[in-house]
Chains A and B, each alone.
Chain A
Amino acid sequence: MKRVYVNEEWCLGCHLCEYNCAFANSGESDMVKALKGKPIRPRIRVEGDDRITYAVSCRHCLDPLCIRSCISGAIHREDGVVCIDREKCVGCLTCVLVCPYGAVQPGPDGAAMKCELCLHNAAGEPACAAGCPNRAIVYEEREEGQA
């Protein structure tokens, strides 16, 4: 299946992916209205230091620990995409406790949230990849272990 991958050599550390992500998941149609003056809650985050930067988001693991660990059964797969049913989630954050990539976080209402590849929002496909100016973030099919 297609996933979001990051080529860290090409990442400029511009954080645009974070803004595009927060906007895509805001439910708003106007970026200024969605983001201006508000703390943004992107599901992808740029990390690194003054030499290296890269973005981290849910890996949609082949055998996701979060799905096995979720106490409410809120985390599940939809065609391979790991999704959170935020109606079922009670916000215990066991997913945050087990995710090896630190890719899950509490959302504004306390329920957990993470990248769902923009399949449930108006973007339709990952806004982080679509808007990455240097094509460091890509949305494509890769094999296990292939870099």
Chain B
Amino acid sequence: MKKYLIIGGSIAGVSCAEGIRSRDGEGEITLVTAEAFSNYGRPLISYYLEGKTDIPRMSWRGEDFYEKNRVQVRHGVTAEKLEPEAKRVILSTGEALSYDALCLCLGSHPFSPRFEGLETVENRFFFTTLEDALALEKAVGKESRVLIVGAGFIGLKCAEGLRDRAGSVTVCDLAAHAMSANLDADCAPILEKHLAENGLRLMLGDTVTKFEGKTARMKSGKTVKFDVLVIAIGTRPNVSLLAEAGGAVNKGILAGERMETSLPGVWAAGDCTESMDVSAGEAGLLAVLPNASLQGFCAGVNMAGGAEKFDKGIKMNSIGFFGLHIMSAGTYTEPVYTEITEHSCKKLFAAGGVLTGFILLGDVSRAGIYTSLIRERTPLETVDFEALKKEPSLLPFGQAFRAKKLGGAV
């Protein structure tokens, strides 16, 4: 009986267990995870604060997942050392767990640059775990002035989640625009206006230079008074467990399309990895939930002797703020279509005869047709791209495509 060990009980880890069980009903699966909660939709923590979900509904694969899939789970336990020759992992409890196949699904950790005086701030939080959300829920009251450093999607989701709970919410970012990793200067202002109309105070192109208790001194010379601070500047892949064992890492753990690391018997999946972005033609961090899930499943199947590939990876994100939907995907190369109104924005990017990326704000209907073009690297000369630019539909793909996709099981 094969012994499988999964480290990390989030999306990639749970998907890895699903992948293993899709091929091997017998093997012994142990999952070790540092958090007290596991198998929950991490992006839901802002919806929790907003009151749009609750802990039972946040369960990603259902509360009976471990039992149904016969997975032994260890919550609140950290893997501290990997010994690849001995094929074992040393835990924070002092135990050593041996494995035949190991998958590292370690995710990422919030990153905080050194702010002067940060230690003088009593109420400071990150926003990446359910525990963070529960702590914020306690700390924020009707009068609280919340300051969020970072206007990426995590910071803004946090702001949305807290708006109705707090007295005021201010979000600052050194970047000139909100969600600067996803949006460009054409699209971002529409979001910024919408956020302001919904009661958020944005301070863009500005950040904190010094904290003095409940006062933030800003680069612009302004000061911001606050009661609760959230640092949402970014996340970094958790690579040290593998790196210290001699495995190959760059920004993330290097994993090929089979999700194998450079160490034999060791797989990796999810936000801790760096893998091929087919829209960019190079490896990168593809840290979004769908990729973590696809990679985890792929790793699990391969650990159990299968032959899965994760070979269509791109960055892609769908998110909404106060009813405004935003989607972004791929790599922003040459803009080939732009349509901007007061409340919406659509931009398509192409290079080398394939669609490489898009930004949609407002009207997001049927966006998956574009996403699929990017992931499949569909040569644009094989479709009626002029028609597709205006509206995503299956008509421009031609009759043979439709006969296959709509006429048989796919």
Contact = CB atoms under 8 A, between A and B. Distances in A.
Interface of A: 3, 5-8, 47-49, 52, 54, 56, 59, 61-62, 65, 68-69, 71-73, 87-88, 90-102, 104-105, 110, 142-147
26 contacts: A5-B408, A6-B406, A48-B395, A52-B399, A62-B409, A62-B410, A65-B294, A68-B15, A68-B290, A69-B289, A71-B41, A71-B42, A73-B59, A73-B61, A90-B44, A90-B47, A93-B364, A97-B327, A97-B371, A99-B366, A102-B369, A142-B409, A145-B404, A145-B410, A147-B403, A147-B404
Top 3 closest A-B pairs, CB basis?
A102-B366, A69-B290, A147-B407
Interface string B271-284: 00000000000000
Contact of A71 (B43, B294, B364): B43
Given A73-B62, A147-B404, A93 B327 contact: yes
Contacts of A95: 368
Interface of B: 15, 41-44, 47, 52-53, 57-62, 289-290, 293-294, 297, 316-320, 323, 325, 327, 329, 364-369, 371-372, 392-395, 399, 402-410
A75 to B, nearest CB: 11
Contacts of A87: 57
A100 B371 CA distance: 7
A110 to B, nearest CB: 8
A41 to B, nearest CB: 12
Contacts of A47: 393-395
Nearest to A1: B409
Contact of A97 (B293, B329, B410): B329
B394 A102 contact: yes
A71 B44 CA distance: 7
Contacts of A8: 399, 402-403, 406
Contact of B410 (A59, A69, A102, A104): A59
A56 B406 contact: yes
Nearest to B47: A90
B42 to A, nearest CB: 8
A142 B406 contact: no
B394 A91 contact: no
A7 B405 CA distance: 11
B204 to A, nearest CB: 24
Contacts of B403: 8, 147
A6 B152 CA distance: 43
The binding surface of chain A is classed by DSSP as loop
Nearest to B290: A69
Nearest to A71: B43
Contact of A98 (B47, B368, B393): B368
Contact of A96 (B44, B53, B318, B394): B318
Nearest to B406: A6
B395 A59 contact: no
B393 A72 contact: no
A88 B394 contact: no
A142 B410 CA distance: 10
A125 to B, nearest CB: 18
B404 A101 contact: no
Contacts of A49: 395
Nearest to B403: A147
Contacts of A72: 41, 43-44, 47, 53, 57-58, 60
A147 B52 CA distance: 42
B278 to A, nearest CB: 15
Contact of A93 (B41, B320, B393, B407): B320
B368 A100 contact: yes
Given A69-B293, A88-B53, 16 more contacts: A6-B407, A69-B289, A72-B41, A72-B53, A73-B41, A73-B61, A92-B319, A94-B318, A96-B366, A96-B367, A97-B316, A97-B368, A98-B371, A102-B367, A145-B404, A147-B407
A69 B314 CA distance: 13
A145 B408 contact: yes
Contacts of A5: 406-408
A73 B53 CA distance: 12
A48 to B, nearest CB: 6
Nearest to A8: B402
A68 B393 contact: no
Contact of B368 (A3, A54, A88, A96): A96
A47 B404 CA distance: 17
A147 to B, nearest CB: 4
Contacts of B408: 5, 142-147
A99 B316 CA distance: 12
A114 B290 CA distance: 19
A7 B327 contact: no
Contacts of B366: 96, 99, 102, 105
Nearest to B295: A68
B405 A101 contact: yes
Contacts of B15: 68
A61 to B, nearest CB: 6
A43 B96 CA distance: 52
Nearest to A99: B368
Contacts of B327: 93, 96-97
